[in-house]
Structure formats: C-alpha cells, structure tokens
Amino acid sequence: MTLGNNAGSLAQVWPEVERAECLARGAALKWASGVFCRPEHLERLSQYRKRESQRTTSIHTRLKSMVQSYLEGVGWGLEQLQEARAELKEVSQSLKKAGLESNGNTDGVKSLERLREVSVNHCQLLAAVSNLPRLYSVRSMVLETERLVESRRLLEAHARLMDLEQWQDDILWQLHGAAGTAGSALSTEDQELVAKYFSGVGKLVDALGKELWAVVSSALALARQNPTPFVSAVRIVEREEALDQALLEERGGPRGSSRPLPPGRPRCWRACFFQVLEEAVSARFRSVSYLHTRGPGLAGHLSALQHAIMADLATVRHLLEHCVPSHYQITRAYLRASNHCLHAHLAQVSSWDLESGEIFAVLNWVLHIYNSPDMMGHPELVTEMEKEELGPLISTEGLEQLQNKYVQSVRKSVSEWMHKALQVELQDWQRDQEPDTDHEGFYQTSLPTIITQMLEENARVALMIGQSLRDQTIQMGLYEMENLLNRFREALVESGKEHRKDLSNNKNKFYLHYLLASISNCIILKKSTESLQQQQSSRSAGQFSRTPSNPLAALDRAVRRACRLVMDQLLLDLQPLLPGLMTRHWLVQGDPTPKLCTILEHHLELYGRVRPPCRQRLQEEAQWLMVVEYVRALMQKRMVCRNAEERRQLAQQMVQDDQQFREIFHGLEGEGSVPEVNPLALLPVLADFIKLKDPGMLTLEVSGLAAKYPDISEEHVSVLLDIRGDVSRDIRGAVLDLLEQSAPPLPAGYRPIFTDILVPPSTMAFCLPTAKCA
C-alpha cells in the first residue's frame, strides 16, 4: 500500500514513471503468458518466484549503493565550496588593506620625481663627459680613414672605421638608455643630431665599399700580379659578415637585447662580394657589339670567349682559391657566374638576324665545344660542379628556334642556288653543241652534280650539330628538290612548245640530245634522293613539315614528261614519211620503210646515251609508237585489195616491214625487261588476217585476234574486212556479231594498243537499213 502510494506520488511528479510502470507490467504479463501457457507449467511457479525475488533484491542493493555514492560526492562538493568562500573573504580583506596603503604612499612618490629628473640629467652629463675625447677626435679619425682608403690601406682603414662605428653605436645606446630611464623613447632630434655628427662615417663606408668592389672586380688581374689587395678585401668582407652575424644573434636570441641595430646593418658584404664577381664576369660580354660579331667574326668571338673563360678559370682554380676561405667555393661561383652571363649573352646573340654560318657557329659552340673536355667537360672542372647544376646555355625551346632559323636560312640559300642552277641548265639547252658525257658515255649536264653536292654538303654540315638538325635539313632539301623538279618539268614543257614553234628556223639542233640529258639527270637525282632519304632516321621522316615532300613522285612526273617529249620528237621526225605507208607505191617499191628505219635507228642510237632503266623505257616507247603509227596508216584504208594476189603482196610487205623493225629493235630484249605484249607481234597477225584465203575462216581468225588484243573494236575489224575486199555481207555480219558477243574484259597489266588508234569516219553518204545498223 505504501509502495503504491509512493508510485502514485512519483507518477504525479514525473509522468514518465507511470508510463514506464505500464510498460513493465505489459512486459511481465507477456512473459508470464508465454511461460505458463499450459496447466502443468504452474508446478515451476515457486522456482520462478524465488528467482525473480533474488533478482529484485540485487537490483535494489545496487540502486542503494549508487545513490549512497552520489550523496557522498555532493557532500564533499559542498564542503569545498564553503572553504573557497572563506578564502575569498580573506583575499578581499587583504586587497582592501593594500589599496588603503597605496593611497597613503601617493604623496611620497610625487616627492621623488624631482630626484628622478636630477638622476637622468646626471647620467646624460656623465655620458657626455665620458665621450668628449671621442667626440673631439671623430673628425680627425674620419679624415685619417679617408686617406687610408685612398691609399688602399684597406685593413687599417677598416679598423678605424670599426672604431668610429663602435663609438656611434655606444653613444646611441647611452642616449637610448637614458631616455628609457626617463620613461620615454629616444627623440628624433637626438637621432638626427648623432647622425649629422657621424655623417662622415656613412661616407667612409661607401668609399671603403667602392674600393673593395673595385679590388674584387679586378681580382683576376691582381691574382696574377699582386694578390695582397684582394686578400685584404676578403678579410674585410669576412669581418663584416662576422659582425653582422653577431649583431643579429644578439638581437634575435632567446634573451634578445632591446638594443637596436646600428645604422646600415646588416651590410651583407659577402653576398655583395659574389654579386660583384658575377658583374665582373658579365663585363666581358657587355662590350660585345652587333657589328663586331657579324659573319666570320662571330666564330672568332666565340673562340675568344672560350680561351678567355678557360684562362680565367685556370687563374681562379690555381690562384684565387688560395686567397679565399674554402667555404667560398670560388671556382664553383665563377662557373655559375660564367654560365649565367653566357646564357644571357647567347640569348642576345640568338635574337640577331643571323645567317646560316653564324647559327652553325653558335649551335656548334653550345652543343659541342662548351661541354667538351676543352671547356666545361675538363676533368678538373667536372669535379667542381655537375652539368645539371649549371643548366643549359640555351633552353630546349631556344635550341629548337635556332635550328629552325638555321634550316630556314639554308633553305633560302638552297632555293636561290637551285634557281640559278636551273637557269644555267636552261641556257645550256640553247648551246650549239651536244651535252657533255660522263665516263660511261651517258649524257649529262651540271645540274644534278650541283644539286647533289649542295644537298649532301648541307646534310653533312648539319650532322656536325646533331642528327635532328641533319634530318630537318634533309627534309628541307627534299622539299626544295621537289619544287625544283616541278619547275624543271614546266621548263621542259615550255622548251617543247618553243621548239615546235621554231621548227622552220632549226635554231636548236640538239633539242633531243638535251631532252635525253635531262632524263639522265633525273636518274642521278633519284639516286641522290634515295640516298638522302636513307640517311633520315625513321622516326623523323616527315616530322618537320605538315605535308611531307615527295621528290620521287616529282622525279617520275618529270621523267614521264621528258619521255613524252622525246616520243613527240620521234613522231615529228617520222610524220613526213608516214603518209607513204599502205599505198600502191609502198606495195611495189617498199618505200618509205627503209627511211623510217633509218630515223628509228638514229633515235635508238641516241637513246643509248640515256642511263638505265629509262633507256629501255624509251626503246619500248619507240617500238610502241612505230607499231601504233604503222597500224594507224593501215586503218586509213589507203589501199583496198582487189584480189588474192594483192592480199598476198600486202601481207608479204607487212611481214618484210616487221622483219626490218625487228632488226632495229633486236637489242631490246637483251638489255631490259620485255613487255608483256610485244607490239611488233601485231603486224604478222594482221598480215595473216589479210592474206587468209578462205573468208569462212575469218570468224575463227577474229576470235583469236580478239583473244590476243581484247581492246580491238568492231570499227577496227570492219576496216580490216574492207581492206581484204572479199568479205560478203553475211560473213561481215557474223564476224561482227561474234566480236560483239565475245568482247572479253581487259586483263590486269594489259596495255591497250588499238585504243590509241582511231578509225577515220566512213565517207558513205548513207547506209542501208541492215539489221546490224538497227
């Protein structure tokens, strides 16, 4: 009942307790319903009751101990608060007593102010009295120090200067201490007064520094003659550096003094020493002007730089190293200064408008001479400093720009020389004599020799700089050669036009000879081009231009154009005799075949002055041209057979002509490749077709003819049938139908011959409406 009342009162104070109790009752009922779900389970009710009673007792015990510990902690805290309150009361009372005593001593402190003023004045007067001897001697000391500086007695001058600076520093410190005692900072007027009185000291510092740096600037000359002034300068620099370090450590230590740094400190004269050394090195390059280093003078200037730098380094290593402390590492400092100055100087030189020879001199000096054992690659210098520490004289981008400028300069020169060589070549074509021959008897002119030597020489010179520049130069040369060959081909075309215009005047009797020399020149240039292309590295071929040059294709175009012009000249020489073929006069006397053979023989003899393989090509083209013109004359139907005897005579004369042609071209098969289709084989085939006795066999004959020469057309066969003069309309229709049905495609590699032979149009005013026409 009491617990219920307590629970009720707690529920009124804390509503959460009631909710927790409800949850607990619900959980207990759920547990009991699960455990005692059967009647026989009630036998273990006493066991469950005992276990839950023990658990409840244990929980109550733990709760009581926990509450007890909380109560003990609260009691201890209250005791501490009471003790602190008592101590605060005592402290407050003590502070009140101290305040009352301080108020009582105010009048006594005010009476001591007059004493403090007297003490400050006494300290100032004492400092003035103690410094009077120094103050009187300042001006004389300044004058004496000036004389020492002017006479370059630097060590003595520096000792006097240090005394003057020490006096100035002491006076400032005494004034500063007196002002601090008086409770104020040093006034600006006092500082200006001291600075004005010691103004000569600052001028002495500047004068001494000027003399020091003059000595350091001429260190190399002094080291060879009298190193004493330089040693004195180094000792003064080290004294100043030590004094700077001591003053900084005194002011910047953990117990740093409030004493300010003297005026002009720190001087950092050691850093100035190396700066002056670098300026002395750079002075060798400042006097170099643009005009004094133009053309060959640039190579001489670079050579003079090399000898001057190595002589200076020898002086530094053997003499100056013994005049300075080891930590100066003066050789390394001189190397850095020289490299830095050379870098700036070469950057200035590279910005000039240099010619190819000047650029070559710069690149060769930078890439090869500078790092060679004669300069920075010297064993004694390599131990002083690695190349990576010095850095490159010219950056990678700068080297690429220089190489591009070199290639462009060489390209301009090559283009001009090629243009001049082509002009000389065109003038040679007008000479009234045969072209020159080489030791093998082939025609040639000076053009390929000039071009080949020029390109190979440029490639050889560029290789002295590096493979990359060589590849760029070769690529440029091939590009210019392609341009030259294009102009050369155009010149051939113009020369052919002019020659055809002046046939009546017969101005150029050796036109054909120079055409053949041009073909031989192209063959020489082709070998030179292939040699240059083989010299290029595979990774760089085509790398230096957006559109890679293709001089071999230009050479092939020029050769084909020259061969075409040669064939045009052959046709021009044969043209007056061709109308005499396939006529009654030709059938009876065989004329003009011997004259045609004479012209062919003369041309073939000249073709022998052309280098292989173009010699064989010209012979094949001449053979092809002769056969085409011969068959074209046959297709003119200048002669139509009236009987079998005339057909026999016509075929016999064609065979005889074929034998004469074969005797002329007999050497063709032994000198070069034989064409797949021998054009001379066509003449006996046509002769057999004409002399065929049985017209009924013409169908079979035409079938064989079409198999050998698939480009033969119905018009060609129709003209052949007309020449026979004995073919009936039925046979003609059957032959043409067969040809139309069995027209085979042209095989691969077959060169058409009948395609070049046009059949003249029929002179008939009308035609009968036959099935064939329909």
DSSP string for 48-70: HHHHHHHHHHHHHHHHHHHHHHH
Supply the pLDDT for residue 42: 73
Alpha-carbon gap, residue 12 to 6, rounded angstroms: 10
Backbone angles phi, psi at 21, to 5 degrees: -65, -40
Token pair in block for residue 45: 């009710």
Asked, as a colleague might, if the bond just before 592 is cis with ω within 30 of 0, I would say yes
3-state secondary structure of 308: helix
Q: Are 121 and 143 in contact (CB under 8 A)?
A: no
Which residue type, as a one-letter code, is found at position 115?
L
Kindly state the DSSP code that residue 38 receives in the 8-state scheme: S
| pTM for the predicted model, two decimal places | 0.68
Return the number of other C-beta atoms located less than 10 Å from residue 473's C-beta: 28
**pLDDT tops 80 at residue 175:** no
Backbone angles phi, psi at 443, to 5 degrees: -65, 145
**pLDDT tops 90 at residue 719:** yes
Supply the pLDDT for residue 743: 74
Return the number of other C-beta atoms located less than 10 Å from residue 316's C-beta: 24
The crossing angle, in degrees rounded to 10, of helices 714-724 and 698-708 is 140
| CA distances from residue 754 to 51, 341, 557, 758 in whole angstroms, order as listed | 126, 79, 25, 8
Token pair in block for residue 557: 């175009």
Lowest mean pLDDT among 344-353, 471-480, 486-495: 344-353
User: pLDDT tier at 423 (50, 70, 90 boundaries)?
Assistant: very high
Which of 638, 651, 643, 602 shows the shortest CA–CA distance to 719?
Answer: 638
Which of 556, 604, 608 shows the shortest CA–CA distance to 437?
Answer: 608
Our CA angle for 190, 191, 194, nearest 5°, is 85
- Helices and strands in the chain, H and E counts: 29, 2
**Which of 562-576, 658-672, 752-766 has the highest average model confidence (pLDDT)?**
562-576
Supply the pLDDT for residue 459: 92
Token pair in block for residue 733: 């229709």
Q: How far is CA 152 from the centre of its chain?
A: 55
Summarised one tens digit per residue, pLDDT across range 307-317 is 888 888 888 88
Supply the pLDDT for residue 288: 55
Q: Are 334 and 277 in contact (CB under 8 A)?
A: yes
Q: Are 230 and 323 in contact (CB under 8 A)?
A: yes
User: pLDDT tier at 767 (50, 70, 90 boundaries)?
Assistant: very low
- Residue 406, C-beta contacts closer than 8 angstroms, at least 6 positions apart: 356, 359, 360, 363, 462, 469
Q: Are 513 and 445 in contact (CB under 8 A)?
A: no
- Residue 413, C-beta contacts closer than 8 angstroms, at least 6 positions apart: 356
CATH 1.10.357.50 fits 401-570, yes or no: yes
Alpha-carbon gap, residue 691 to 652, rounded angstroms: 9
Given the candidates 1.10.30, 2.60.40, 1.10.357, 1.10.10, the CATH classification of the domain at 576-756 is: 1.10.357
Q: Are 719 and 637 in contact (CB under 8 A)?
A: yes
Which of 208, 211, 209, 230 shows the shortest CA–CA distance to 221?
Answer: 230
Alpha-carbon gap, residue 219 to 215, rounded angstroms: 6
Token pair in block for residue 90: 């005592």
Q: How far is CA 439 from the centre of its chain?
A: 45
Pairwise pLDDT comparison (668 vs 527), residue with the higher score:
527
The crossing angle, in degrees rounded to 10, of helices 447-463 and 467-501 is 170
Q: Are 617 and 563 in contact (CB under 8 A)?
A: yes
Kindly state the DSSP code that residue 583 receives in the 8-state scheme: S
Alpha-carbon gap, residue 347 to 341, rounded angstroms: 10
Summarised one tens digit per residue, pLDDT across range 426-435 is 998 888 889 9
Which of 498, 526, 506 shows the shortest CA–CA distance to 426?
Answer: 498
Supply the pLDDT for residue 480: 92
Q: Are 528 and 452 in contact (CB under 8 A)?
A: yes
User: How high does pLDDT run on average in the chain?
Assistant: 82
Supply the pLDDT for residue 138: 66
Q: The dihedral of CA 264, 269, 271, 275: what is its sign?
A: positive
Supply the pLDDT for residue 182: 47
Q: Are 194 and 175 in contact (CB under 8 A)?
A: yes
Domain residue limits, the chain: 49-252, 269-394, 401-570, 576-756
Instruction: Give the pLDDT mean for 552-559.
Output: 92
User: pLDDT tier at 193 (50, 70, 90 boundaries)?
Assistant: low
Which residue type, as a one-letter code, is found at position 333?
A
Q: Are 283 and 308 in contact (CB under 8 A)?
A: no
Summarised one tens digit per residue, pLDDT across range 389-404 is 677 888 889 999 999 9
Decide whether 401-570 matches 576-756 in CATH topology: yes
Q: What percent of the chain has pLDDT over 70?
A: 82
Lowest mean pLDDT among 222-236, 292-306, 532-546, 614-628: 532-546
Which of 412, 426, 437, 331 shows the shortest CA–CA distance to 378?
Answer: 331
Supply the pLDDT for residue 292: 62
